[in-house]
């Protein structure tokens, strides 16, 4: 069963620079370490159990799932669901038509030398970034996710992720199967788009296809294809405000 967002992925060119910029935005940024596949990361953990992964490459890694997306620009690029039934949820997605691999082992060595291990089921091809990838920990989850949840900006979690998609029929089939609900029909006047809303644990997902010729999702789809467009983070403010794109390295992050 899906528990909600495990983490969102922001891909960047220079990890040290991005870490400093997110600290300037008021986040507590924790070094994550290196993956053997050529990437390294820093992490921003939240009280709701989710986190942001800021990831870059310490060597050429042309086969990495986020190497090619980075060539088109830094941004929010993918998302991972936490599950208590990795194989069962992977099969649900496969049966619904998602191109997602069987679980494979992954690892990361923290700066203190501790080796973290987990299993991932990775959506592939054009389904990557629209269908989730799924994770199950082998080493304790609390070791993988820094237990430092307090931030100067008072952000406590993730409220919503908005994804730009070209059509909704496949989305409805995938997420209805995975989450056991047909979703809620929505319209977004600000983005000039219609779509479907799903709830994954405490987190909301809006899948939107542009309706108006002036919708910013049209250019987004042309440039990046179907993919995450934005995320709303919770800090208890009374109004919705964007974070500086220069400091988020292209990630459309809003606080509320």
pLDDT for res 236: 87
Number of H helices, E strands in the chain: 7, 15
Q: Which phi and psi (to 5°) does residue 96 adopt?
A: -85, 0
Considering the entire predicted model, what is its pTM? 0.96
Same domain, 165 and 244: yes
Read off the tokens for 245. 């794109």
What is the overall mean pLDDT for the chain? 97
- CA 75/CA 93 separation, integer angstroms: 26
Last residue of a domain, one of 113, 144, 175: 144
CB 34 within 8 A of CB 108: yes
Q: How many domains does the chain have?
A: 2
Of the chain, the percentage scoring pLDDT greater than 90 comes to 98
Residue range(s) defining the domain that contains residue 231: 157-255
Q: What is residue 237's predicted lDDT score, i.e. its pLDDT? A: 82
Domain contains 150: no
Distance of CA 50 to the CA centre of its chain: 10
pLDDT tens-place string over residues 74-107? 999 999 999 999 999 999 999 999 999 999 999 9
């Amino acid at each position: 069963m899906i528990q909600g967002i495990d983490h969102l992925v922001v891909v960047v060119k220079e990890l040290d620079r991005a870490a400093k910029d997110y600290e300037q935005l008021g986040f507590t940024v924790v070094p994550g370490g290196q993956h053997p596949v050529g990437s390294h990361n820093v992490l921003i953990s939240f009280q709701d159990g989710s986190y942001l992964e800021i990831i870059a490459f310490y060597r050429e890694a042309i086969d990495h799932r986020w190497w090619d997306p980075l060539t088109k620009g830094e941004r929010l690029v993918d998302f991972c669901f936490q599950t208590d039934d990795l194989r069962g949820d992977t099969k649900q997605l496969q049966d619904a038509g998602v191109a997602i691999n069987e679980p494979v082992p992954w690892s990361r060595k923290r700066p203190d030398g501790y080796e973290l291990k987990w299993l991932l089921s990775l959506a592939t091809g054009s389904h990557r970034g629209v269908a989730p990838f799924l994770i199950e920990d082998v080493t304790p989850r609390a070791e993988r996710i820094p237990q430092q949840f307090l931030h100067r900006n008072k952000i406590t979690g993730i409220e919503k992720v908005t994804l730009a998609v070209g059509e909704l029929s496949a989305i409805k089939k995938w997420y209805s199967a995975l989450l056991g609900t047909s979703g809620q029909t929505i319209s977004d006047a600000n983005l000039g788009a219609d779509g479907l809303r799903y709830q994954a644990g405490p987190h909301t997902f809006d899948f939107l296809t542009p309706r108006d010729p002036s919708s910013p999702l049209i250019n987004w789809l042309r440039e990046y294809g179907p993919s995450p467009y934005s995320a709303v983070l919770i800090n208890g403010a009374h109004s919705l405000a964007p974070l500086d794109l220069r400091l988020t390295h292209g990630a459309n992050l809003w606080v509320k």
